[in-house]
Amino acid sequence: MLRPTLIPRRKTTQRGKRDHPALPNHGGHNEEEKKKKKTKVTLETIQKEYTSVLQKKKTDVYITSGKPIKIYYDRVIKVLNSGTKQVELVIDGDNKQANNPCRPPGEEQVSIHAVGKNILRASYVLQDVINFYSNFINRVQQMAKNDKKPKVVDVFSFLSVEVESKTLQMNDTVITNTYAVEEEFLRDDYDALIAFARQPYNPALHKYRERTKERRVTGVVITIRKNPTAL
């Protein structure tokens, strides 16, 4: 004999609606996770103005922070000695004559330009140049064939050094690019980033702005003039 099977009644809410069995919740929080979050990335580039500094002549040397000091020292010595031959002076007893007394003016001088922190580097170049000619004068006196005691010669009777300082006003251009990118781009998703870069300009995702920023710096010009006839 078959017995009837009792099926339990489902509970109802106050409104009379039945509660469904517990099901996994696939909405809400998971949907928010699926949405790609966006963030803003700002790239700022400064284009510095150097027009008031770079008025370069053939005999000018500009000191920068990216090169060794010896490069500028060699350049200064080369410019100052550009008109000389194998020996600096022709020595005949007590008479000392310049090798090339008819050199055009300008070949016996050089101007060292430096701005900001490079002024200290320019002073090192000047120091090395003065030491070079001081040693040169000593060698010339040792080569002189005379019995009397050599006369002490001041190196500044051979070189004339002038220093000019001024304040330079620079108008730098500051370029700001702001991108609205997905956070995935901040990881290693280079393919997605390249694809984004290939997209046409979209003002909703990319903001471009330029502004001018004033900058004042100190500039120094050290002029070294050579006077071989003073020996």
- The tens digit of pLDDT for each residue in 134-176 reads 888 887 777 766 656 666 677 788 889 999 998 888 889 999 9
Q: Give the right CATH number for 53-167+217-230 from 2.40.50.140, 3.30.110.20, 3.20.20.70, 3.20.20.370.
A: 3.30.110.20
| C-beta atoms surrounding 17 within 10 Å | 8
Listed residue (159, 127, 154) closest to 141, CA to CA: 154
Domains of the chain: which residue ranges? 39-46+171-215, 53-167+217-230
Q: Are 222 and 169 in contact (CB under 8 A)?
A: no
3-state secondary structure (DSSP) of residue 98: strand
Q: Which of 18-32, 71-85, 186-200 has the highest mean pLDDT?
A: 71-85
Chain segment 124-135, per-residue pLDDT in tens: 999 999 999 888
Q: Are 88 and 99 in contact (CB under 8 A)?
A: yes
